[in-house]
């Protein structure tokens, strides 16, 4: 294992100590099955394995197994969903008949009453940011995959556009405005908790989608970010920049001033991203254990959302930029879930741009 990866994992562990109501006690430099997680508020301990996460798939068309837009999952596949399939006209907010939104909420509340402290269920809106300038730059009509992978992803931009911690394109802004109108038109249940990735494209997406609809602030979660490393589009601004430019944000405990996760040497593996998505969900459920919160919004990225769907057992689903998928997620505190041993290597520049003899 390279020194860069070890350093990132050590920083990740130290960061987790501050955000969860308890502590990780590692006996190695990376998260593994020998760690102990202790939640101090109710003296529950989870030894060796995390609690079990799962989705309830009966309510939404995209959650069932008979939809033509399902994508086969490959644990080793590292390509972003943009490179797998392009569908711009999917309605991801699709209730199955005869369900109504009120019925979904009633079922969630009844399940929470029935299971008490043993299990918890919530409706999540998993929203992808609108098109960013990096999405535009990575399109084959602008830079091809070889040009992007070998050179341009390392740059902050070119003479025309900037994609380091990218902002939204005009199309991306239009996509979010359309989604906001759809949300209003279909009268979806309104979230009572908001989370957002620290990258600018997700923060601007949250602003366009939610700022005028609520007095609540969005909580910035480090682990809600996209796969990070090498490419400058995955590098975030510092906390002061976010505070100075977006007054509707608040920050989770332990949020670092600087971006301590990003490096120009390696790119996060899908396996690590899956572990990060699992950790993010457990943290959210834990933080809300004593709160009456049924509907949660997370504004994030295609890769992280695909990992969330993976760790809850939902089928893989394409999310174009500027779209959203509702999912009912449950957690069973007494049942062990999957352990991610984090054994797979992270990408290096040679993976993106092989050296030819």
Distance CA 212, CA 15 (A): 32
Q: Could you say which DSSP state residue 132 is in?
A: B
Active site residue 314: no
Tokens 């004593």 found at: 290
Q: Which of 226, 233, 252, 268 is catalytic?
A: 226
Distance CA 9, CA 260 (A): 11
Q: Could you say which DSSP state residue 317 is in?
A: B
H helical segments located in the chain: 3-19, 101-115, 133-138, 145-150, 170-186, 200-210, 239-245, 270-287, 302-311, 349-352
Active site residue 226: yes
Structure tokens at 214: 């609520």
Q: Which of 129, 267, 272, 314 is catalytic?
A: 129
Using CB atoms within 10 A of its CB, is residue 293 exposed (0-12), middle (13-18) or buried (19+)? middle
Catalytic (active-site) positions: 129, 226
């Amino acid at each position: 294992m390279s020194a860069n990866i070890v350093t990132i994992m050590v920083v990740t562990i130290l960061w987790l100590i501050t955000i969860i109501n308890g502590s990780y006690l590692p006996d190695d430099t990376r998260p593994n099955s020998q760690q102990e997680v202790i939640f101090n508020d109710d003296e529950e301990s989870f030894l060796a394995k995390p609690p079990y996460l799962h989705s309830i798939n009966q309510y939404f068309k995209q959650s069932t197994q008979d939809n033509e837009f399902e994508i086969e999952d490959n644990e080793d596949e590292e390509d972003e969903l943009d490179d797998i399939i392009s569908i711009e006209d999917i309605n991801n907010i699709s209730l199955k008949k005869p369900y109504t939104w009120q019925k979904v909420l009633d079922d969630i509340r009844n399940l929470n009453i029935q299971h008490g402290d043993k299990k918890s269920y919530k409706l999540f809106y998993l929203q992808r940011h609108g098109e960013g300038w990096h999405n535009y730059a990575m399109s084959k009509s602008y830079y091809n995959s070889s040009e992007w992978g070998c050179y341009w992803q390392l740059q902050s931009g070119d003479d025309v556009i900037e994609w380091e911690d990218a902002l939204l394109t005009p199309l991306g802004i239009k996509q979010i405005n359309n989604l906001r109108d759809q949300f209003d038109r279909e009268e979806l249940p309104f979230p009572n908790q908001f989370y957002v990735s620290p990258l600018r494209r997700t923060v601007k997406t949250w602003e366009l989608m939610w700022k005028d609809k609520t007095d609540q602030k969005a909580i910035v979660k480090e682990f809600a970010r996209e796969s990070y490393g090498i490419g400058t589009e995955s590098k975030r601004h510092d906390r002061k920049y976010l505070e100075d430019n977006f007054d509707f944000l608040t920050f989770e405990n332990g949020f670092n001033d600087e971006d301590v996760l990003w490096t120009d040497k390696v790119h996060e593996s899908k396996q690590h991203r899956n572990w990060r998505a699992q950790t993010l969900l457990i943290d959210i459920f834990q933080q809300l254990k004593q709160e009456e919160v049924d509907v949660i919004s997370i504004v994030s990225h295609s890769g992280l959302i695909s990992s969330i769907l993976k760790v809850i057992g939902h089928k893989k689903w394409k999310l174009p930029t500027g779209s959203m998928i509702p999912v009912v997620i449950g957690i069973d505190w007494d049942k062990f879930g999957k352990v991610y041993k984090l054994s797979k290597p992270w990408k290096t520049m040679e993976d993106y741009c092989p050296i030819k003899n």
